[in-house]
Amino acid sequence: MRVLPKVVTWSRRGFLRGSGMALGAAAVAPAALAMPAADGLAGAFHTLGPATGKTLLRMARDVFPHDRLADRYYADAMAPYERKAAKDPALKALLQDGVAQLDRAAMARFGQPYAGVAAEDDRVSLLKAIEAGPFFQKIRGDMVTSLYDNKAVWPLLGYEGSSWEKGGYLHRGFNDIDWL
């Protein structure tokens, strides 16, 4: 059973020491910090293209919003689309046409592509307009499995994993949730 501390364990000195390390790293690698994480991760979409990849990453984060998850987990969840689109022209067309439709709607309402719309509420309103369509249903349906089946994501969401091989939950923190 994992026991979560209920108090902040960082001292002011420890926080300042850690932020000093981050500033030192920024001096070493300024080019890495100049590019947003989503832009760098979207560059891995060679078949679909970086613009489509960036929109898909933003869309995945808007459909399944978790502030504790880094963009790389969403990129890992979207990676199967890149591999499948290289072999399946129908899937490639569905994804690229869906992103194009989303970008057109964003340009008409906000004057910029979907990934460039700053306000989350505005992006969600665009998604609600297409939620009944096959593009949205494909992304939402596949992301449930690909995002939440990633074992690296489980601890970040507070899930301790399967329990049957450890004797079940009854004697392993059955009632240790603190958010209820």
Distance, in Å, from the CA atom of 61 to the CA atom of 114, rounded to the nearest integer, reads 12
Look at residue 175 in the predicted model and tell me its pLDDT. 65
pTM for this entry? 0.69
Residue 169 has pLDDT above 70, yes or no: no
The answer to whether position 7 is within a domain reads no
Q: What is the pLDDT of residues 32-82, one digit of tens each?
A: 333 345 555 655 666 778 888 889 999 999 999 998 899 899 989 988 888
- Total domains in the chain come to 1
The answer to whether position 13 is within a domain reads no
Q: What is the pLDDT of residues 125-142, one digit of tens each?
A: 999 999 999 999 999 999
The answer to whether position 174 is within a domain reads no
Percent of the chain with pLDDT over 90: 42
The answer to whether position 1 is within a domain reads no
CB atoms within 10 A of CB 43: 13
Report the mean per-residue pLDDT for the chain: 78
Range(s) of the domain holding residue 123: 37-160
Look at residue 34 in the predicted model and tell me its pLDDT. 37
Look up tokens 């919003």; give the residue. 65
Look at residue 102 in the predicted model and tell me its pLDDT. 95
Look at residue 80 in the predicted model and tell me its pLDDT. 87
Going by pLDDT thresholds of 50, 70 and 90, the confidence category of residue 28 is very low
**Which string of DSSP letters, residue by residue, matches the chain?**
-----SS----HHHHHHHHHHHHHHHHH-HHHHHS-HHHHHHTT-TTT-HHHHHHHHHHHHHHS--TTS-HHHHHHHHHHHHHHHHH-HHHHHHHHHHHHHHHHHHHHHHSS-GGG---HHHHHHHHHHHTTSHHHHHHHHHHHHHHHT-TTTHHHHT-----GGGT-STTTTTT-----
